[in-house]
Structure 1
Amino acid sequence: MHQSGTEPFLEMLAAERAAAPATLAAYTADLADCEASLLRQGESLDTASADGLRAWVSEMSTSGAARRTIARRISCIRQYYLFLLRDDRRTDNPAAQLDAPPPQRALPKFLTESEVVALIEAGTPPAGATPAERRRLILGRAALELLYATGLRISEMLALRRDSFRENTRMLLIRGKGGRERLVPLSDPARDAVQALLLEDKARASPWLFSGRAPAKPLTRQGFDKILAELGGRAGIPPDRLSPHVLRHSFATHMLAHGADLRTLQILLGHADISTTQIYTHVQADRLREIVQAHHPLGQSPSGQPADTAGPEPSAASDEKNL
């Protein structure tokens, strides 16, 4: 790329914002994509017009580019023209009115209630289990009971200390995102599973409830993922349907299905904004539609099959970090 402003822009990102090589590579690709579109219109990157940039955005939309990709590229271009403006390379900002598409909120994945039960039961050590296998399964069961009973984030669960639990513990004080604290109730099965883990790990003398190979350190996210995959295999649940966040989504979805109100769910999940919690109402609406289509006489096609069971495939990709 030979346009006069791109190299100084990338140098600024590296020097002033400590942009990583991968970030610089992404910005370079985004600038190149915009430049290619502008050249087809007879314009250049540094002399682009607002109409030329709008045509570029329209091209991306019609080509089927993902909303997240379009939004990222527009963000890059906005920053680029602000740089040109501040560096006196341009007297105007053609990207000032460039609108990014709203992000597409995907529905989260969740397990059925019977699948959760099977997953938890998979944490029961079989007769003849080795000490290492026995501890791994007991730890896995305690983690699953906690995740499903409380809706904790995996980071919140792995940060739990051993001294947070007593035999009569009924509530847990959780410090979540932004340092916000919340109290979550502890179910009897979850408390029993935790007590079994505490007994199993008594000799380790770790300060952490879920300790890693070295007792002085907590279990890592990667370490737990391996245990979860093992339990999923025992329960017959494919790995691509399992993650700690799937347990959190399952907790929320099942709570709502059994009558919990959104405000209570928001508090339990530690969401700062109830609009984040409201995505689970869409999950429920989708499920209710499937039930009606499957069982209502007018929901059946002449062939006896549901008339239309197509709906958004649940996905945890775009909003998991907020959920």
Structure 2
Amino acid sequence: MTSAHGADPLSRGQVEAFLEMLAAERGAAARTLSAYQSDLDDFSAHAASRSETLAEGSAETVQTYLRAMTAGGLAPRTAARRLSCLRQFYRFAAREGWRKDDPTARAARPKLPVTLPRVLSEDEVMRLLDARAVGDAEAGRRALVARAALELLYTAGLRISELLGLPRDAAYARGPMLLVRGKGGRERLVPLSEGAREAMRALRASDADIASPFLFPGRDPKRPLTRQAFDRILHDCAVRAGLDPARVSPHVLRHSFASHLLGRGADLRALQMLLGHADIATTQVYTHVMTERLRQLMEAHHPLAGGTPH
């Protein structure tokens, strides 16, 4: 759909203010802002087809938009994201006094299929932690980077953005906790294992001559290691551990951290705090992982699971 913003200066100014708020107050990344801009453009075009602007969008127009997305075969997850964007925009509009109502208030969120997080077994994680990255003249340092990163991703459940953004002084964190800056600039404390602490300090000592503010510096020391560069290191580790690299990613390690803790009796609320989830509903997906594992265990080992008496 084409953008309706060019003919709607009021809406265009409101969208700019909304995106500025997301960047300033929530620390939204450029990619996130671009996605929100695109979503608002798409709804603006739909509203224009009903002789409304984005600023004037009615509850009925929101409903016809949702129906149009469903009829067009749009994935439920994409439709849910667009509705979330609209909700945030109109709540911001109400906060700013641009309008008194929220046209998305009664809009039902599209039902999403439950997608279970991919995880590694505890044995597979141990094999990965024991692996070392090799392949170039910096193999020794790459091994230090790999060890520190994998220890933190798995024992602290960090997101890759949180990991790569760690300051160099994190290596000298005092006490058993590490301060992490997460989504939207929100801070949380996570337990720091002795293995992770030792790996961080070994990496920091190796990089003593590198003037960088980051624990994981990139080629340009003023910037952190890129995700692409870390993905190559992780790929090497997976290969050496005898694992399919397609099954191994930073988020898989975070999921493994969560599901393994839950499987060993961790409280769901505590897990929510450790992961930095704003809503416990996000954390509850891991209960589905445990349910699925129990079902598979039942089918594999129960004498009557196949339906034939023994």
TM-score by length of 2: 0.70
1:77 Cα deviation after fit: 8.3
Give the secondary structure class of the aligned counterpart of 1:175: strand
1:281-320 alignment, distance < 5 Å: 281-301=287-307
Aligned with residue 147 of structure 1, among 150, 153, 160: 153
Give the secondary structure class of the aligned counterpart of 2:138: helix
1:8 corresponds to which residue?
Answer: 7
Aligned with residue 99 of structure 1, among 107, 126, 145: 107
1:250 Cα deviation after fit: 0.8
Residues 301/222 of structure 1: CA separation in 2 closer, same or farther (3 Å cut): same
| Partner Cα distance (2:108, 2:61) in 1 | 15
How big is each residue's C-alpha offset from its partner over 1:207-227, in whole Å with a ceiling of 9 and x where there is no partner? 432122233433233332232
Residues 271/8 of structure 1: CA separation in 2 closer, same or farther (3 Å cut): same
TM-score by length of 1: 0.68
Question: Which amino acid in 1 is paired with 2:187?
Answer: R
CA contact (8 A) 1:210 1:219 kept: yes
CA contact (8 A) 1:110 1:246 kept: yes
CA contact (8 A) 1:158 1:218 kept: yes
Over the aligned positions, Cα root-mean-square deviation in angstroms equals 4.3
1:308 corresponds to which residue?
Answer: none
CA contact (8 A) 1:176 1:270 kept: no
**Is residue 172 of structure 1 aligned with residue 205 of structure 2?**
no
Give the secondary structure class of the aligned counterpart of 1:143: helix
1:253 Cα deviation after fit: 0.7
1:113 corresponds to which residue?
Answer: 122
| Partner Cα distance (1:181, 1:286) in 2 | 30
Counting matched residue pairs gives: 283
Question: Which amino acid in 2 is paired with 1:232?
Answer: A
1:69 corresponds to which residue?
Answer: 78
1:210-249 alignment, distance < 5 Å: 210-249=216-255
| Partner Cα distance (2:86, 2:209) in 1 | 58
Give the secondary structure class of the aligned counterpart of 2:282: helix
Residues 27/278 of structure 1: CA separation in 2 closer, same or farther (3 Å cut): closer
| Partner Cα distance (1:25, 1:220) in 2 | 26
CA contact (8 A) 1:169 1:186 kept: no
1:248 Cα deviation after fit: 1.1
| Partner Cα distance (1:21, 1:206) in 2 | 30
| Partner Cα distance (1:77, 1:196) in 2 | 47
CA contact (8 A) 2:159 2:250 kept: yes
1:257 corresponds to which residue?
Answer: 263
Question: Which amino acid in 2 is paired with 1:283?
Answer: V
Unaligned runs of 5+ in 2: 20-32
Q: Which has the larger radius of gyration?
A: 1
How big is each residue's C-alpha offset from its partner over 1:93-126, in whole Å with a ceiling of 9 and x where there is no partner? 996676232452533222222221222222265x
Q: Percent identity?
A: 42
Question: Which amino acid in 2 is paired with 1:227?
Answer: I
| Partner Cα distance (1:215, 1:131) in 2 | 18
CA contact (8 A) 2:119 2:252 kept: yes
1:284 Cα deviation after fit: 0.9
CA contact (8 A) 2:120 2:252 kept: yes
CA contact (8 A) 1:151 1:248 kept: yes
Once structures 1 and 2 are overlaid, which stretch shifts more, 269-278 or 94-103? Answer: 94-103
Residues 202/289 of structure 1: CA separation in 2 closer, same or farther (3 Å cut): same
Unaligned runs of 5+ in 1: 37-43, 88-92, 305-323
